[in-house]
A and B are shown apart, each in its own frame.
Chain A
Amino acid sequence: EVQLVESGGGLVQPGGSLRLSCAASGFTFSSYEMNWVRQAPGKGLEWVSYISSSGSTIYYADSVKGRFTISRDNAKNSLYLQMNSLRAEDTAVYYCARCAVNGAFDIWGQGTMVTVSS
């Protein structure tokens, strides 16, 4: 079964750090581009970051640029999001999502909740 499973969320104080992971299974992870997408409570979807299949090309939303770092380990079938200098407005469910060959996001994880609060 094709699957993405996120982990690493939790409660963190403003200014703190957190590292999210996304474990992929059921497909050749190294062949696919990947993304992080977040959703604040009761709000819509916000694209956060993109990484190419090799990891050589990376993009960030302006809202997280300079604070978040996306990476991947194709040998471990895993995607990561290192989040530093966290703010209250980063509170959200964070999803990892696979780019299909057609470019749309065809596989999503169940999400991991990040709460930034003192």
Chain B
Amino acid sequence: DIVMTQSPDSLAVSLGERATINCKSSQSVLYSSNNKNYLAWYQQKPGQPPKLLIYWASTRESGVPDRFSGSGSGTDFTLTISSLQAEDVAVYYCQQYYSTPPFTFGPGTKVDIK
């Protein structure tokens, strides 16, 4: 099974500043036939279900603000919030959905306001 790790576990960023979250997979999630990385990012606020932010590592889901961006390929990925807003306080998870299940999630990164 593919194991997902995230760093840091938590971070506090000032409003308007950049937040960067890293995600690593234990094996590549790049599908060579279509050159797509099967990696998604989710945001979960307290008491709410997760919300899809990014799929294919860098494609924003419809309606997601453009301050959220994803990058990376193979085994190393990054979620960047370019200018943190108060409503971005949440836990962020990466997930791989490469090939057959299990579709594993990272342990999560908690983002707070400094």
Contact = CB atoms under 8 A, between A and B. Distances in A.
B105 A106 contact: no
B45 interface: no
Given A44-B107, A109-B49, A111-B49, A103 B97 contact: yes
Contact of A110 (B38, B40, B49): B49
B52 A106 contact: yes
A44 B104 CA distance: 11
Contacts of A111: 49
Contacts of A37: 50
A112 to B, nearest CB: 11
A109 B38 CA distance: 22
B52 A105 contact: yes
Contacts of A80: none
B104 A47 contact: yes
B55 A103 contact: yes
B65 interface: no
Contacts of B42: 45, 105
B105 A35 contact: no
Interface string A38-51: 00000011110010
B49 A108 contact: yes
Interface of A (DSSP majority class):
strand
Interface in A61-118: 61-62, 95, 97, 99-100, 102-106, 108-111
Interface centre among A61, A62, A103, A108 (most CB of B within 10 A): A103
A27 interface: no
A50 B104 CA distance: 12
B55 A44 contact: no
Interface of A: 35, 37, 44-47, 50, 59, 61-62, 95, 97, 99-100, 102-106, 108-111
Given A37-B50, A44-B91, 14 more contacts: A44-B108, A45-B93, A45-B95, A47-B101, A102-B55, A102-B59, A104-B52, A104-B55, A104-B56, A105-B40, A105-B42, A108-B50, A109-B49, A111-B49
